Amino acid sequence: MKPVKDTALPDIEKTKLSVLIAEDNAVSQRHLIDRLNSLGYDVVGCASNGEDAVKMVCEKKPQLVIMDVMMPKMDGIEAAKQITAHSPVPIILLTGKSSDELADRAIEAGVFAYLIKPVTKKDLIPAIKLALSRFDEFKKLEKEVYDLKEVLETRKLVEKAKGILMKRCNIHEDEAFKLLQSYSQNENKKIRDIADSIITASRFM
């Protein structure tokens, strides 16, 4: 897999972000469109199933995808995998409930954030910011690891290590990632190895 082109992420407070929605429920789809439009985002397309979502991402090239986990023909997890394999883009998954298993599957599929239904306007902005921030981290990991499977496995370890650092050091997510990067540079080790060391050490503390 070729690394994602290293371009600056758009500032969502200054740029009209282009968004693709994948949601098979017409009412939920309409609500999402209205909320995104009211926040100043540009909805460039709507898909009602996973297969169409994958095709439309290639055609529309949105800067963000908001996708339901339960859809006909292809569910959101599988669609996210295919999108990540061919046209990496920040993806927010919509789900009726959260779980550790879903979070792990979402990370492995290339999802960068998820929202619990029903989605409110106040939920969207932090979720979009989080997805963009994590996508930026994903691109930085790709500079170190060029195989998609290894990038996704590395990201899974990094997410766990960030959670440990956030709790222990009382810091935000972006600060935790910068700390991992700093450890990686100072120790001259891959960020995956640093993350793995932190996770291993946490089991004995």
Tell which wins on pLDDT, 140 or 74. Answer: 74
Model confidence at 205, pLDDT cuts 50, 70, 90, reads low
Predicted confidence (pLDDT) per residue in 72-125, tens digit: 999 999 999 999 888 889 999 998 877 777 777 887 788 889 898 889 888 999
A 10 A CB-CB count for 170 gives: 8
Q: At what angle do helices 76-86 and 148-169 cross, to 10 degrees?
A: 110
User: Nearest CA to 156 among 79, 77, 94, 100?
Assistant: 100
Over range 181-204, report the average pLDDT: 86
Q: 66 exposed, middle or buried (CB, 10 Å; 0-12, 13-18, 19+)?
A: buried
Over range 162-178, report the average pLDDT: 87
Q: How far apart, in whole angstroms, are the C-alpha atoms of residue 90 and residue 43?
A: 15
Radius of gyration of the chain, Cα coordinates, nearest whole angstrom = 17
Largest CA distance in the chain: 52
How many angstroms separate the Cα of 111 from the Cα of each of 44, 81, 94?
A: 20, 8, 10
Predicted confidence (pLDDT) per residue in 52-67, tens digit: 999 999 999 999 999 9
Q: What are phi and psi of 68, to 5 degrees?
A: -75, 145
The residue with tokens 């891959």 is 190
Q: How far apart, in whole angstroms, are the C-alpha atoms of residue 28 and residue 71?
A: 13
Q: Which domains does the chain have, with CATH numbers?
A: 18-135 (3.40.50.2300), 145-202 (1.10.10.10)
Give me the pLDDT at residue 24, please: 93
Q: For the whole model, what pTM was predicted?
A: 0.74
Beta carbons of 20 and 37 less than 8 angstroms apart: no
Give me the pLDDT at residue 106, please: 82
Model confidence at 31, pLDDT cuts 50, 70, 90, reads very high
The most confident of 33-42, 154-163, 173-182, by mean pLDDT:
33-42
30 Cβ contact partners less than 8 Å away, ≥ 6 residues apart: none
